[in-house]
Amino acid sequence: MSTSTTSIENGSANRNASDDRRSDHRGGRSSARRPSPLTLNDKVRASLLARHADEHNAGHLYDRAAERMQHEGYEGLAHHFRTAAAEERGEHAQRVEDILHAFDIDPPHAAVDEPDLSRYDNALDLLYLAWETEAGLLRRYEETKALAADADELAVESLVDAVLESQLHEVEEARTLYRRCESALRDGSGLMTVDMHLAESQAGG
């Protein structure tokens, strides 16, 4: 093969490679992952990730509470806690994920904490624990909102406002159920009466 032929072939190969690079650029193909054009304050990011974990921990706690209620014969309360557990892991965790996804942040798979329920002797104790849990979540979301405000993350502050409104409803639901059961014990009708009414409403719903 002559030197001139080799030079022509090399030149053709170089042009083809250059054409491929231009084609990749025009088509938007790149081996490097481009950063999000929308950044998030590090403290706000950490707080949102913590709230995502909180929701999954609450879900796991309610799973365990449902098991206890089932074991003690409270079908309605067990169903209530199973429903609450699914909401925490699903809709409630998702609303935090949606905020993070807007900033191109994928939260890690949540590693839940195993709750110690040995200090909670009866069903009423577990219902109070649920009230405490929802109230604690409310306060921590308030902290997240305050961090967002301090960091001028106005979009996040607005979105967390909507979460707070929903969370306040969760607190009220937990409070109402606890007070209802507390009253039933005080007036002598007992928790089983409340449980039966819950089971009937769940079957009807």
Angle at 92 between CA 86 and CA 93, to 5 degrees: 95
Q: How far apart are CA 205 and CA 200, in angstroms?
A: 9
pLDDT at position 16 is: 52
Dihedrals phi, psi of 190, to nearest 5 degrees? 85, 160
- Selection from 80, 88, 83 nearest residue 60 by Cα: 88
Q: Which tokens in the block code for residue 167? A: 């969370």
How many C-alpha atoms does 112 have within 13 Å on its Cβ side?
17
Instruction: Tell me the angle at which helices 154-187 and 123-150 cross, rounded to the nearest 10 degrees.
Output: 160
pLDDT at position 91 is: 96
pLDDT at position 170 is: 97
pLDDT at position 205 is: 62
Residue 99 CB contacts under 8 Å (≥ 6 apart), including other chains: 48, 156, 159, 160
pLDDT in tens, the chain (205 residues): 544 444 444 555 555 555 555 545 555 566 798 999 999 999 999 999 999 999 999 999 999 999 999 999 999 999 999 999 999 999 999 999 999 999 999 999 878 999 999 999 999 999 999 999 999 999 999 999 999 999 999 999 999 999 999 999 999 999 999 999 999 999 988 999 999 999 988 887 6
pLDDT at position 23 is: 47
Q: Which tokens in the block code for residue 150? A: 């301090």
- Selection from 112, 137, 144, 142 nearest residue 47 by Cα: 144
pLDDT at position 8 is: 44
Map tokens 């250059």 to a residue: 18
pLDDT at position 12 is: 52
pLDDT at position 28 is: 54
Q: How far apart are CA 147 and CA 166, in angstroms?
A: 19
Which amino acid is residue 50, in one-letter code? Answer: A
